[in-house]
Structure formats: C-alpha cells, structure tokens
Chain A
Amino acid sequence: MSSTSDARTPTAAPKAAFRLSMLLYDQRYRSITIQIIFLFALMLGIAWLVDNTINNLRALGKDFSFSFLTAPAGYDINQRPIEYDSQMTHGRAALVGLLNTAILAVMACALATILGVIAGVLRLSNNWIVARLMTVYVELFRNIPTLVWIIIFGAIMTESMPAPSAFRGDDPSASMFLNESVAVTNRGVYIPSIQFANSLGTVNLGVVSPSINWLLVFAVLIAGIYANKAILKNATAVQNATGIRPKTWWKSLAVLLGPVLVLFIVFGAFLEYPELRGFNFADGTHLRNSLIAMWLGLGIYTGAFVAEIVRSGILAISRGQSEAAFALGMQPGKTMRLVILPQALRVIVPPLISQYLNITKNTSLGLAVGYMDLRSTLGGITINQTGRELEGMLLMMLIYLAVSLSISGAMNIYNNRIMLKER
C-alpha cells in the first residue's frame, strides 16, 4: 500500500523507456529531429551548390585562385587618395577603391547627420513655415529612390554648372565664390588646399606613404583632444567640490587649436588657391563631379531619414522631463543640452547606426555617376579584365561585410556606453 502511494508522488518521474516514436511526439526530442532534418537539408543544398560550382569551373577551364590580385591592373583610377598608376596591381586598385568608398562614406555620414539633426529639430519647431518646409524636405527625399537623387545631382553638376571657360575674360559669365577661392564648374568643384612650405617629406609605411607634416598635425590634434578631456574632467571636479564651474572655453580652444596653429606656422602652411590655367583650373583640390553627386545624393537623402530618427527620439522623451527642467529654472537651451538630448540620444543612436551602415552600402551606387569606389574597381573593371567573377565578387562581399560588421561593432560599443544605467 505504502509503496504504491510512493510511486504516485510527483517527485518520482516515470521511468519510461525511450521509444522511437518519441522523436515525433515528445517535445523534448522533437526539436532534435527537426534540427537533424534541417541540417541534413542544408548540407545537401550546400553540397549541391559547391558541386555545381566545381563542375562549372572545370567545364570553363578556370581555377579558383586570388593570384590575379598581384597582376598589373592596367587601368586608371581618376580619384587617387594614395599613389596609384595603371602599372600597379589589381590589389592596389582595390585598395584605392576601398579608400574612395571610405572617403565618400565619411563625408556623406557627416552631411546626413548635420542635415538630419537640423531638419529633425526644426520639424518640431513652433514656426509654422519652417516646420512645413522641413516636412516637405523629409517626405520628398524619403519617398524617391536614392539612385534617382544621385543621378539628378550628377546631372545638375555636369549640365547646369558653368564650364571653366566661362570664368575667363574681362567680363566672365561665371565667378568664383568666397573671395575667389572656390570654383564650381561642370568638371567638378575646385577648393583651396593646404600646402606646407617646409615639407618634411613622406614616411613609407609599405602600402601608403603619408606626409610627415600631416601625421604630426594629426598627432598634435589627437593629443589636444585628450588634453581637453582632462581639462573638462578637472572642471567637473571643481564644480562638484565648490559648486562653481570654472570657465574652460578659452583653455579648450587654446589646447585644441594652439599647437596645431603653431605647427602650421612652423611648417609654413599656406592656402593654394585654384587658378584658371589653359582650359581648366589647376592647383587647389579638385573634387570630382562624381564625388560631389554621390556626396550630395547620399547625404541629403539619408539626412531625411536621420531627421525622422532625431524627431522621434526627441518626441520619445516625455514632456515631464522638459517641464521638470523648466521648474528647476533651466533655460530652454540648457534644458535641451542637459536634459533632453542625453536621453534622446539613447533612442537616436541605434537607428542612426543603421543609417550609417546604409550610407556605406549605398556608396556602391557610385557606378551610376562613374565614382571609382570598391565596386567600380574590384567589382567592376578588375572582374571584367581578369574574368574572375567568383573570386572578385566573393572578396568584395567579404570586404563590405567586414566594414559593415566593424562599423556596427564600434557603434554598439558606443551605444553600450551611453545606454541607460539602470539600477
């Protein structure tokens, strides 16, 4: 009697033997069955694809090798951030393309952020006409494909801008902007460039050989940023101790800009202005039409998305927060800076990251206006010349994947730092 009641207590699990049907009916085992079937089907699919690829490559008499990267490229690239000529290798050409992609992505991200923040804040403004204008901007750019915008900006640059010859003569039909320093022509935009009279030469790092002057300037700038951080930290400490925040703006300015200015003076820096020579402008920095079209197209298009992100971020902060800040006697500017924005940033940053990723991926549309990015060099001319579609596409996808994953990784670290520290 007692033994039966023992068996009925819930603690004693039934010792049922494993039956084959449990693979189908028992939830504990069913998931294993499903996974095995899934894995089997997946393996089969992959094996089929690989087998097909091997057969096809054999039929075409091709092998699978990346040796084409060391062969001479034989084509020119019109925008070269690093030394490159057509005698150099396909690998070098791909690197130039990757750098062009990076330059464009950074420029477009900056433009999109600035435009987006301005438009997002202004769309919430009480000013009727400004808010309406920003709504029109956001809706217009969000609902028309970015490719269309890129081509439109490309057409504006090549069709609507004056030719360099229009700048010539006593009574030219076109004129330069900003005190004769910026020329906008149908061959691109010419801006002044910074040159050093006392050049220290270049340092050879194997792949790239940057100028020592610029390296020093950047080193000093980064040191200045760190010094500024220390100053601000010190000011906060003083404020916590005494309640009065010491004025730091002139210290920050001096630490950030002073050393750089000194270096510039020591190196004898001067601005080299673009100048009309012959049929075209010379000197200065030439920003090609393709770059400008891509920059404006991507930047303004994505700016509309950023505007919506910023707006929703600000709206996500409850009204009580700003009312509380006003009740404490804060002014609107300070309320925005110290109360609203730090909280809104948490909502804004994750979608902003994916917009930056979108910009980086959309740089591959450079083909539309002839911008020589990674897709046009490695994924375009190199593939066409060498016939290595498989290797070239694979390499290009891996590079894009690596870039995307590292951007999202870096941004996630930042995101974790500003995330709400909950109890």
Chain B
Amino acid sequence: MSDTHSNTVSYVRDSMLPQQEPPLKDRGAVKWLRENLFSGWLNTVLTLLSILTVWFIIIEIGPWLMNTVWNAGSLRECREILDGTSGACFAVIKDRWHQLMFGFYPPEYYWRPVLAFVLMLVAVAPILFAELPRKMLYFSALFPFVGYHLLWGGSIWLPVAVLLGFVAGYIAFRLLDRMSSLISTLGAVAATLAWWFLLAGPFNAAMTSVLPIGLEFVRSDAFGGFLVSVVIGVSGIALSLPLGILLALGRRSEMIFVKSVCVVFIEFIRGVPLITLLFTASLLLNYFLPPGTSFDLILRVIIMVTLFATAYMAEVIRGGLAALPKGQYEAADALGLDYWKAQRLIIMPQALKISIPGIVNTFIGLFKDTTLVVFIGLLDPIGLSNAIRADTNWNGIYWELFIFIGALFFIFCFSMSRYSQYLERKLKTDHR
C-alpha cells in the first residue's frame, strides 16, 4: 500500500499552508446578515416586513416630528408658521408647561413642589442604593412630613403633631418592651391613637397660636398635572409595600379569623376595578363617615389607590413566601427566633428578594393607574390635556399632548423596571 503511494505521489507537502480566510458568505457583515436576518425564507419574509414597517413609520412620522414648531401661542399661529406643511406643534407643551407640571398650583410657590421633588429623590436614594451612608435613612423617615408641609403648607405644627404621635408610640413600645411583645405592640398603637385623637388637636392649636410659623396653605384642588400623579403614585408606593407585607403575613397566618379577613379583603379588592373604588372614594365616603366630616379628595384617592395596590402586593409577596423552602422557617424556629424576628431576619429578606419583579410590576401598575383619577375630576395630565383642548387657542391638538404625557410616563415606568433588573442582578446569590 505504502509502496504504491510513494510511487504515485511525486510530491509531498512538508509545511502547513497559511490559514485562509473563510469564504465571503461566512464572515463579517455578510455572515451576520445571513445568520440573523436571512437564515430561511420565513426569516427573510419577517425581516422584509419589519424593514417595511420601520420604513413606513419613519416616512409617516419622521417629517412631522422634524418639522416641529416650538414657539407659538395657539394652534392657529402654529399652523401659520407651518404654512401648510405637515409638522408637529410642540409649542403647546412650552405654552402650557407649568400647567402640565403643576396644574393650578400658585405660580409664586412653584419652588415648593420642585423642592419637594428634589428632596424626595434624596430621601429615596439611600433606600435604592445601599452604597450611600445609612444615616440618610433618618431623612427618608422624616421626608413624608417635610414633603407634606412643602406641598400643602399650612401650619407647620400639624405634621409635627402627627410625627409626635409616632414618637409617642415608639416610647410606649420601648417602655413596655420587657413585658410582652403583644402588650408593647398594643401599647404603642394605643399611645399613637391616643395622641392623635386626644392631644394632637389641642397641641396643634396651642402651638399655632403661640408660634404661627409655616408655609402658605395650598388647597388640594389647586394640584394638577404630573404633580398629582407623582404625589398619589409615590404615596401609594411608599404605603402599599409595608401594608402588603402585613396583609400577606395575615393571609398565611394560622389564626383563622385574621386569615379569613385578609382573604376576603384581598379577593374583594382584586375582584373589582380600581375605578369603582375611586368612585366609592368620591361618592360614597360621605355615607360611611360621621355626618359633617369631609376630607381632602387627594387624600381619599391616596387611601383607595393604596388599598388597591396593597391587595396586589400581598399576593405578590405571598408568592415569594410560598417559594421559600420550608427548611428556612424551621431553621428560624430552631434558632429560637420569635415570629417577628424570624420574619425580619430570615424570611422577609429572602421572600422579598424573590418577589422583586412582582413588587416593581405592582409599583409600575400603581403609577400608571394614577391616570384613572381623571374620572373623579382630579386634573391629572390626561384631565389637563382635555382642559387644554377645551381652550380655543389649542382646540384640536391631540398627538403632541399624548406624546408628551406618554413619554413622561414611559420615563418613570421604564426606569423603575430597569432599577428592578439592576436590583435583581445585585442580589443574585446563586452563581448560575
């Protein structure tokens, strides 16, 4: 065999050929195109359809967007500037910027919501990013009172009186702590309620007459635009997480009454549309409260939105609790931790981590649902867009307002979902 071979082959290569480049269709952009866009007839059709769609959208909307008028006092003026050509008229945003942001908030006090917003970012920062100094959390705890005072104003002693209620509760808790956790909790609640209902009023009145300091009071009906959305959204978000945790624990509790009440509450709230709850807040609350009481519409809406989000939050967190292996609960018991310590140190950190996507989705849903307040007469951005269109100057303007409102909501919600992805990555402990 080898003989034949050596006879027939007159030349044997003794060195390797230099590596050749792959053929043109298997390298570079061509390869990428072939693999990602034109790998089969179906993919080719889909690609062409997509390109057509994108092209169509660009052709339709591009010129309209590029040819934007930013300075005009009315739609008529804007059309005169456009002079028959197709173009967007974002002048309406510039013209009505303050209204879209603050509604009918007194212009001389615009700095108050702006400052409140900035302080809110500062207050939220240590909660969102663990790298920041922990001392900032004290400010976060104080922020609800500061924010309330900045937005609504009035006597500074009202938020102080409410804050002192919490302080009273904390002191009572500390004093009774060594007796029994049940007694100390009850004592704390009783002390807080006693302060609010019995002493806060006189304290507020006395301090206001002695030292009348505070910002000018702004009524709730002056609130509007994104201010309303953010106030309702942020309050709902801040309140619904702790309440949702309590409700989820209640639903998993072994105490039959507590459990059944929680189940009924959750299923009821999840079974009816938010809009019926909002109408309940605006139409029916006067029936349920003592005659003559009436309280702020925005506050009522915040309560209802919070209740609504709380029920959904409870279900999300219950899912996280159910996903924890039983061994975790048993390990906590074996360590001798009592119920709350076990929840705080072992169960909740893990359960909440599992439920982060669901929690943030609930937050996003809540923030988007703040648009529904337009139905009960609050001037949120959608309500204002209707009001702006009712003005003769801007009668007939649609798309620019919708694009602006949609874009702002998109920024808020999209950044929330991005943050949740960041948090998930950061807290991920399984190295898969």
A interface with B by C-beta (< 8 Å): 24-25, 30-31, 33-35, 37-39, 42, 49, 52-53, 55-57, 59, 122, 125-130, 133, 139-140, 142-148, 151-152, 155, 159, 357, 361-362, 364-365, 367-368, 375, 379, 383, 389-390, 393, 396-397, 400-401, 404-405
Residues of B281-299 at the interface with A, using a CB-CB cut-off of 8 Å, are 283-284, 286-291
Q: How far is the CA of A53 from the CA of B286 in the complex (A)?
A: 8
Pair A30/B182 contact, Cβ less than 8 Å? yes
Q: How far is the CA of A318 from the CA of B46 in the complex (A)?
A: 27
Q: Which residues of A contact B274 (CB under 8 A)?
A: 361
Pair B286/A56 contact, Cβ less than 8 Å? yes
Q: How far is the CA of A127 from the CA of B275 in the complex (A)?
A: 41
Pair B186/A31 contact, Cβ less than 8 Å? no
Interface size on B, residues (CB 8 A): 59
Q: How far is the CA of A24 from the CA of B180 in the complex (A)?
A: 7
Pair A144/B409 contact, Cβ less than 8 Å? yes
Closest B residue, CB atoms, query A159: B398
12 chain-A/chain-B pairs, Cβ below 8 angstroms: A52-B290, A57-B287, A127-B37, A133-B50, A142-B417, A147-B372, A147-B374, A364-B275, A390-B287, A393-B276, A400-B276, A404-B270
Does chain A have a CB within 8 A of B35? yes
Pair B43/A375 contact, Cβ less than 8 Å? no
Q: Which residues of B contact A145 (CB under 8 A)?
A: 368-369, 371, 409
From the candidates A55, A364, A383, name the one contacting B291 in the complex (CB within 8 A).
A55
Pair A126/B35 contact, Cβ less than 8 Å? yes
Does chain A have a CB within 8 A of B28? no
Q: Which residues of A contact B290 (CB under 8 A)?
A: 52, 55
Known: A34-B255, A53-B287. A155 touches B398 (CB 8 A): yes
Closest B residue, CB atoms, query A54: B287
Q: How far is the CA of A152 from the CA of B371 in the complex (A)?
A: 14
Closest A residue, CB atoms, query B42: A127
Q: Choose, from B89-97, B207-215, B256-264, the stretch at the interface.
A: B256-264
From the candidates B36, B257, B279, name the one contacting A38 in the complex (CB within 8 A).
B257
B interface with A by C-beta (< 8 Å): 35-37, 39, 43, 46-47, 50-51, 53-54, 179-180, 182-183, 186, 254-258, 261, 267-268, 270-276, 279-280, 283-284, 286-291, 364, 368-369, 371-372, 374-375, 382, 398-399, 402, 405-406, 409-410, 413-414, 417
Closest B residue, CB atoms, query A394: B284
Pair B255/A35 contact, Cβ less than 8 Å? yes
Pair B402/A148 contact, Cβ less than 8 Å? yes
Closest A residue, CB atoms, query B417: A143
Known: A39-B257, A148-B382. A405 touches B267 (CB 8 A): yes
Pair A151/B182 contact, Cβ less than 8 Å? no
Not counting A145-B409, A361-B273, a sample of 17 additional A-B residue pairs whose C-beta atoms are within 8 angstroms of each other reads: A39-B257, A52-B288, A52-B289, A56-B286, A126-B39, A127-B36, A127-B47, A129-B54, A142-B413, A143-B410, A143-B417, A144-B368, A147-B372, A364-B275, A379-B279, A383-B283, A397-B272
Pair B273/A151 contact, Cβ less than 8 Å? no
Q: How far is the CA of A97 from the CA of B425 in the complex (A)?
A: 47
Known: A127-B37, A147-B382, A148-B402. A35 touches B288 (CB 8 A): no
Q: How far is the CB of A105 from chain B (nearest CB, A)?
A: 12
Q: Which residues of B contact A357 (CB under 8 A)?
A: 270
Pair A365/B398 contact, Cβ less than 8 Å? no
Q: How far is the CB of B256 from chain A (nearest CB, A)?
A: 7
Pair A365/B372 contact, Cβ less than 8 Å? yes
Q: How far is the CB of B236 from chain A (nearest CB, A)?
A: 14
Q: Which residues of B contact A379 (CB under 8 A)?
A: 276, 279
From the candidates B291, B371, B417, name the one contacting A147 in the complex (CB within 8 A).
B371
Pair A143/B54 contact, Cβ less than 8 Å? no
Q: How far is the CB of B423 from chain A (nearest CB, A)?
A: 18
Q: Which residues of A contact B369 (CB under 8 A)?
A: 145
Q: How far is the CB of B136 from chain A (nearest CB, A)?
A: 29
Closest A residue, CB atoms, query B339: A27
Pair A34/B273 contact, Cβ less than 8 Å? no
Q: Which residues of B contact A57 (CB under 8 A)?
A: 287
Q: Which residues of A contact B291 (CB under 8 A)?
A: 52, 55-56, 59
Q: How far is the CA of A362 from the CA of B372 in the complex (A)?
A: 10
Q: Which residues of A contact B39 (CB under 8 A)?
A: 126-127
Q: Which residues of B contact A375 (CB under 8 A)?
A: 273, 275-276
| 6 A-B pairs with least C-beta separation | A143-B413, A145-B368, A404-B271, A361-B273, A401-B271, A128-B36
Q: Interface centre among B183, B255, B276, B372, by most A CB within 10 Å?
A: B276
Pair B37/A128 contact, Cβ less than 8 Å? yes
Q: How far is the CB of B227 from chain A (nearest CB, A)?
A: 17
Q: How far is the CA of A139 from the CA of B275 in the complex (A)?
A: 25
Pair A151/B288 contact, Cβ less than 8 Å? no
Q: How far is the CB of B59 from chain A (nearest CB, A)?
A: 16
Known: A31-B254, A400-B272, A401-B272. A389 touches B284 (CB 8 A): yes
Q: Which residues of B contact A127 (CB under 8 A)?
A: 36-37, 39, 43, 46-47, 50
